Structure 1
């Protein structure tokens, strides 16, 4: 089981580092590259650089609030 946990941890680390590198390049370095350069076809438009994190944050916050609400309702039922 420990090997499986290490494999999952490694995969999650590689995915998060890849996303961080892609986003950092997209937001910080790409604006300084000419717009007719071929590298631009591998990235979404710049508007999405703001919209995607906002959507992810709102979704995460909503799921967290729903989870806390469900836990509070279940703990109320156990006391009654």
Structure 2
């Protein structure tokens, strides 16, 4: 395996772990912390904890539908 591939994999793993830790703390632990605590200034309001994943899921589904449609149109042209 190339060194660049390992570096990219390590970088993606680090980013994924950071996002998972941030989101988990935001959704599970932060509601039990007092609202006047300084840690609240590092997080978005709780409504975004649901809106961001829903938006990401809708965007992913739209992309997948467009990709499947593109592949179907391309395969139809090959048959003709």
TM-score range, shorter chain: over 0.9
Unaligned runs of 5+ in 2: none
- What do residues 30-65 of structure 1 show as CA deviations (whole Å, max 9, x unaligned)? 000000000000000000000000000000010011
- What do residues 4-49 of structure 1 show as CA deviations (whole Å, max 9, x unaligned)? 1111111000000000000000000000000000000000000000
> TM-score with structure 1 length normalisation?
0.97
For 1:1-80, what aligned pairs fall within 5 Å after superposition?
2-80=2-80
> TM-score with structure 2 length normalisation?
0.97
CA RMSD of aligned residues (A): 0.8
> Moved runs in structure 1, 4+ residues, more than 2 A?
none
What count of residue pairs does the alignment treat as equivalent? 80
Unaligned runs of 5+ in 1: none
